[in-house]
Amino acid sequence: MPVLSKDVPQEELSSPTADRWSDVVWETAPAKVNLFLNVESRRADGYHELETLMVSLGLRDTLRIQSLPGEELEFVCHDARGVAGLATGARPLDLPPGPGNLVWKAAQLLRDQTGVQRGARLELWKRIPVAAGLAGGSTDAAAALRGLNRAWNLGLSLAELRELGARLGSDIPFFLAGRPAAICRGRGELITPLDLPLGLALVLVKPTEGLSTPQVFRHCRPEGRRPGVAQLVADLRRGCLAAAASQLHNTLQPAAESVSVDVVRLREAFGKLSAAGHLMSGSGSCYFGLCRNLGEARRLAGRLVARRLGSVFVTSVASGVRAA
């Protein structure tokens, strides 16, 4: 029998589509940022070998899954960005509606691999900005794999789901690690989960223009192996934010700056603020500041909204999100 997640946002609970609980599975799909991302080398298969520290955020999408008696797949996406999504010129949601969407691909892959002949209605409330380096599509796909595994009673382990997820995208296994922080290696799919103190406060800015991940990787200069991630983890565990901030690193940032003036502007704007540290996330274009507490994150968010650099979010590692 599918289990109902306890973590159901109120807007979905009160929505007219929230019908019989027993047929419905809910999944939350958190965004991530990379506190450290070192691209080591270019591989023969076109991917890059990397080492990255990923942490999941309170900023999240929500996926509702209803198992259907036939074999039909339905996918509906709602714009749930609210005030933050509307701030300073955000575009309408631009997501592939049907089989091109990673949620749909995850459902199809599960059916192909398990032989299950079931259908589902997949309804997504989308808050995470797209083409932002926050892994919005990857986390939705991971949520679909988790949720359909329950809704269709497939009994796959997290390790089996990670193996399937890796076929759809390099960031997906992280969201199937069962922990909010991990060091990821290989092309991103080799996961070492970590215990880190939660509640790190962040302010994020997503410029109107997103960035293409393949394009940014094409422009990057691999750096070989680079120390830093172990020290960063140790500093975060000690609660020493200033030391941790000095270890923030992203090889993809110079590459993104070479193709996006927005990222340059964000680095310059964050350089004038008092955040403990700042960095572009993943392949961009989202930029974040690491703050001493949520109060500081909110103060900085106010100043960033005034600068009209993009949509601004206040969030923390694996807790709630506020629109600024």
Binding residue (CB under 6 A) for ligand C5P from 26, 36, 75, 217: 217
Strand partners, 193: 182
Binding residue (CB under 6 A) for ligand C5P from 2, 188, 277, 284: 188
Nearest Cα to 208, choosing from 267, 137, 274, 266? Answer: 266
Beta-sheet pairing, 181-185 with 190-193: antiparallel
Strand partners, 124: 63, 77
272 is catalytic: no
Stretch that binds ligand C5P, among 43-51, 67-75, 177-185, 197-205 (CB under 6 A): 43-51
How would you class 195 by CB atoms within 10 Å of its CB: exposed for 0-12, middle for 13-18, buried for 19 or more? exposed
Nearest Cα to 254, choosing from 274, 279, 232? Answer: 279
Give me the least distance between CB of 39 and ligand C5P, in Å please. 8
206 is catalytic: no
Stretch that binds ligand C5P, among 46-54, 147-155, 257-265, 292-300 (CB under 6 A): 46-54
Told to check if 311 binds ligand C5P by CB under 6 A, we report no
Q: Between residues 1 and 44, which has the closer beta carbon with respect to ligand C5P?
A: 44
Binding residue (CB under 6 A) for ligand C5P from 70, 98, 100, 214: 214
How would you class 140 by CB atoms within 10 Å of its CB: exposed for 0-12, middle for 13-18, buried for 19 or more? buried
Binding residue (CB under 6 A) for ligand C5P from 67, 88, 170, 251: 170
Place of tokens 């509640």: 199
Q: Count interface residues toward ligand C5P (CB under 6 A).
A: 11
Give me the least distance between CB of 276 and ligand C5P, in Å please. 28
Told to check if 96 binds ligand C5P by CB under 6 A, we report no
Q: Between residues 212 and 293, which has the closer beta carbon with respect to ligand C5P?
A: 212
Binding residue (CB under 6 A) for ligand C5P from 169, 173, 284, 310: 169
Told to check if 231 binds ligand C5P by CB under 6 A, we report no
Q: Between residues 33 and 87, which has the closer beta carbon with respect to ligand C5P?
A: 33
CB atoms under 10 Å from CB of 79, counted, come to 14
What the block records as the tokens of 248 is 């923030």
Q: Between residues 167 and 237, which has the closer beta carbon with respect to ligand C5P?
A: 167
Phi, psi of 168 (to 5 degrees): -95, -25
Binding residue (CB under 6 A) for ligand C5P from 179, 185, 187, 267: 187
Distance CA 96, CA 136 (A): 13
Told to check if 213 binds ligand C5P by CB under 6 A, we report yes
Catalytic residue chosen out of the listed positions 61, 126, 140, 171: 171
Nearest Cα to 107, choosing from 116, 191, 280? Answer: 116
Binding site for ligand C5P (CB under 6 A): 47-48, 50, 169-171, 187-188, 213-214, 217
Catalytic residues: 32, 171
